[in-house]
Structure 1
Amino acid sequence: YLHDYMPAIRGLSDKTIETYKQSLKTYLRFLREEKGLEDEDVSFEAFARDNVKEFVVWLKGQGASARTVNLRITSIRSFLKYCGQEDFELRGIYESVCQIQKLKEEKHPILYLQPEATAAILSAYDAKSKKHRRNRMMLILLYDTGARVQELADLDIESLHIDAPNPFVTIIGKGRKRRNVPIMKKTV
């Protein structure tokens, strides 16, 4: 599941796979601490809906945020979906766990930099050295495209289409999805 299916079939990134792995390890820790099940004794019955619901309560008791709890539920569902596809008899466990409601996540408003703050950040990098020019350009590109830092780090020369009539950057985002993002002529 973690070594073949997720990277090859689903095309998930290493970071996503590591997050899912951590979620499953956390569930195994719950089973050990709360149910007295050692790893080698865990069977699919341990993934019963009631156990997963107790896991949610346990996570909240550990101080996990709603977002973390929901991520753990998603990881378990994904694993059980895979198992159900491999063995039809396990499909019922997956469907049962899918009935568990996710927690309501608090929505945080998106905060934007004011033009003065942006100018102050950019002024920290003058044009005197190559390093400063590079860092300034990276900040401008981040600001102009709205890209994540990792997305910017993954850019290569073929990603830049600055000679096009309407310049743009091809960004590879989460899930290895490509998107073309226009950039201002001033950035070019």
Structure 2
Amino acid sequence: MHRKELSYYVSGFFTQYLGNEAGLSINTIKSYRDAFILFFKYLEEAGICKISKLKMDTLNADNASGFLDWLEQSRGSSISSRNQRLAALKAFCCYVARKSPEESALCQGVLKIRVKKAPQRPVEYLSVDAVEYLLKMPDRHSTQGIRDLAMIALMYESGCRVQELIDLRVGDITFRSPNTVTLTGKGNKARVIPISANAADIIKAYLTSASICNMAHSVFVNIYDKPLSRSGVSYVLDKYGHMARKARSELYPSKLHPHILRHSKAMHLLENGVNLIYIRDFLGHSSVTTTEIYARCNPELKRKYIEQAGSLITESVEEYSESEKEALIDWLRKNI
């Protein structure tokens, strides 16, 4: 039986499988594409194989591991980026193994490579006072200022990801009580988030000022009427962060990144007693385990967890079944 080349599987993976069968988002597909571009670059730089001579055997565990180390050591990639590239290779190997079982042994070598654990950094977020002061920075009397104010207000109120903000269309916002915004997140999953009348009024004022009324039009655009880029959003936020820091340096870190408003909203909801399950749905997390990072990073919330845990423990521990004891221990281990 004639063995197919690596290029055959790569072509099918990107042109048919990822978008059609797996239903992955454009951003995930781009991330996978970048992973393969870097992998091929590594193979050439390391003298392993030229792109024009790629064979299926080239995708083996040794080359994949060498590639991951190269990302960290030669390109200075973070552990998170390294793991993202590995996820792309593993997704490809799963695809190949299903399509051609005879390649399973080769693919299993890559699939057995473990993700690298990264030290967990504390979640960076702003206090309520810091968010309120930041919202005072844009000049709401200019079109650009009202745009920036609307953008910052919406990022905080909705807890949206940067890409969700960039992809937002006018038709995704409902200006009637209750005012809502429909966000499309990872895996093309949509969620409807309520926003305050204040935020809705600011967004309406911006759209009117910018003469944007087409339902299919991007909400946040630059001076060329093109959707803001990720770097554009970062620039705007850091600009106002710099302005706010001049007057209230104690409230702000050295640089504001777009995700900080999402983190801030999550922390403020949690501090006000909102259930983690609701916050998970609000943020669009696939698992509450992801949301739990917010509970673990705040000493006061951790204390509340300990108190809650104490209320679960009675004098007669014998009344708990073995499975209940295990569940309680697992809960404590995750949250304290």
- TM-score w.r.t. structure 1 length? 0.85
- CA apart distance, 1:109: 1.9
Provide the residue aligned with 2:269 in structure 1. none
2:93–2:111 Cα contact (<8 Å) kept: no
Aligned CA distance change for structure 1 residues 29 and 181 (closer, same or farther; 3 Å):
same
Matches within 5 A, 1:32-43: 32-43=44-55
Provide the residue aligned with 1:23 in structure 2. 35
- CA apart distance, 1:32: 2.1
**AA partner of residue 63 (structure 2):** N
2:80 is aligned, of 63, 67, 72, to 67
**AA partner of residue 121 (structure 1):** L
66-75 or 152-161: bigger deviation: 152-161
1:163 is aligned, of 160, 173, 176, to 176
- CA apart distance, 1:185: 4.1
Provide the residue aligned with 2:113 in structure 1. 100
- CA apart distance, 1:6: 1.7
Matches within 5 A, 1:112-127: 112-127=125-140
The superposition leaves residues 153-186 of structure 1 with CA deviations (integer Å, 9 ceiling, x where unpaired) of 322333223424x443210012211112222344
Partner of 1:64: helix, strand, or coil?
A: coil
- CA apart distance, 1:70: 0.9
Aligned CA distance change for structure 1 residues 152 and 90 (closer, same or farther; 3 Å):
same
Distance in 2 separating the partners of 1:64 and 1:140: 32
Distance in 2 separating the partners of 1:187 and 1:24: 42
2:57 is aligned, of 42, 45, 49, to 45
Q: Stretches of 4+ moved more than 4 A in 1?
A: none
2:183–2:191 Cα contact (<8 Å) kept: yes
Provide the residue aligned with 2:308 in structure 1. none
2:99 is aligned, of 86, 90, 103, to 86
Provide the residue aligned with 1:134 in structure 2. 147
- CA apart distance, 1:52: 1.7
Provide the residue aligned with 2:70 in structure 1. 58
- CA apart distance, 1:64: 2.4
Provide the residue aligned with 2:167 in structure 1. 154
1:11 is aligned, of 1, 12, 23, to 23
- Gap runs ≥5 in structure 1: none
- CA apart distance, 1:132: 2.7
**AA partner of residue 142 (structure 1):** M
Partner of 1:135: helix, strand, or coil?
A: helix
1:178 maps to 2:190: yes
42-51 or 118-127: bigger deviation: 118-127
Partner of 1:170: helix, strand, or coil?
A: strand
**AA partner of residue 114 (structure 1):** S
Distance in 1 separating the partners of 2:176 and 2:85: 45
Aligned CA distance change for structure 1 residues 119 and 33 (closer, same or farther; 3 Å):
same
Larger radius of gyration between Structure 1 and Structure 2: 2
The superposition leaves residues 55-92 of structure 1 with CA deviations (integer Å, 9 ceiling, x where unpaired) of 23333321322112111111111112222222121122
Partner of 2:105: helix, strand, or coil?
A: helix
Q: CA RMSD in A?
A: 2.2
Aligned CA distance change for structure 1 residues 123 and 45 (closer, same or farther; 3 Å):
same
Aligned residues: 187
- TM-score w.r.t. structure 2 length? 0.51
Distance in 1 separating the partners of 2:175 and 2:29: 34
Distance in 1 separating the partners of 2:141 and 2:73: 53
